[in-house]
């Protein structure tokens, strides 16, 4: 009985260490400060799609996996802007993809 308790306690400690050492992951959102409405924003290989973003609006956060991801922004007038984002495997946090009035795309850490 004592061996079972020791094994159970050891397994429980190892599981706790494993889960606490894993990255918490990243979340992204899009903020539109452009002069026109964004028709769609497509992020990643397994795409995360944000649609119909009015001016001066931020979306809700969505989970993003680690790795390199492309960003494609299409406006209502069918202008296309491209960028990329690199998400590390370690760590976590929130990022905001922001497009401003000069059509610059920025990745901000929240």
Q: How confident is residue 7, by pLDDT bands cut at 50, 70 and 90?
A: confident
Kindly tell me if the per-residue pLDDT of 20 is higher than 70: no
Domain with 48 in it: what CATH number? 2.60.40.2890
Strand pairing partners for 68?
86
> For residue 24, what pLDDT band results from cuts at 50, 70 and 90?
low
CA atoms within 13 A on the CB side of 22: 7
Coil, helix or strand for 87?
A: strand
Q: What is the pLDDT of residues 46-104, one digit of tens each?
A: 899 999 999 999 999 999 888 899 999 999 999 999 999 888 888 788 889 998 988 89
Q: Check residue 81 and give its pLDDT.
A: 93
State pTM to two decimals: 0.74
- Does residue 49 sit within a domain? yes
Is residue 13 assigned to a domain? no
pLDDT score, position 22: 53
Residue 80: inside a domain:
yes
The total of other beta-carbon atoms located within 10 Å of residue 14's CB is 10
Specify which residues 32 forms β-bridges with: 57, 99
Query: pLDDT digit string (tens) for 26-45?
Result: 899 999 999 999 999 999 88
The predicted pLDDT at position 45 comes to: 83
Establish if 11 belongs to a structural domain.
Answer: no
Beta-strand ranges (E) seen in the chain are: 25-32, 38-43, 48-53, 57-58, 62-64, 67-75, 80-87, 92-99, 105-109
Q: Is residue 101 part of a domain?
A: yes
Total number of domains in the chain: 1
């Amino acid at each position: 009985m004592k061996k079972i308790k020791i094994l159970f306690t050891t397994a429980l400690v190892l599981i706790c260490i494993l889960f606490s050492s894993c990255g918490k992951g990243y979340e992204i959102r899009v903020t539109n400060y452009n002069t026109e409405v964004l028709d769609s924003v497509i992020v990643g290989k397994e795409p995360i799609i944000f649609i119909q973003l009015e001016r001066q609006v931020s979306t809700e956060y969505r989970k993003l996996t680690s790795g390199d991801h492309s960003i494609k922004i299409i406006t209502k007038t069918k202008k296309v802007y491209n960028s990329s984002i690199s998400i590390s495997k370690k760590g976590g946090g929130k990022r905001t993809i922001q497009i401003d009035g000069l059509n610059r795309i920025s990745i901000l850490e929240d």
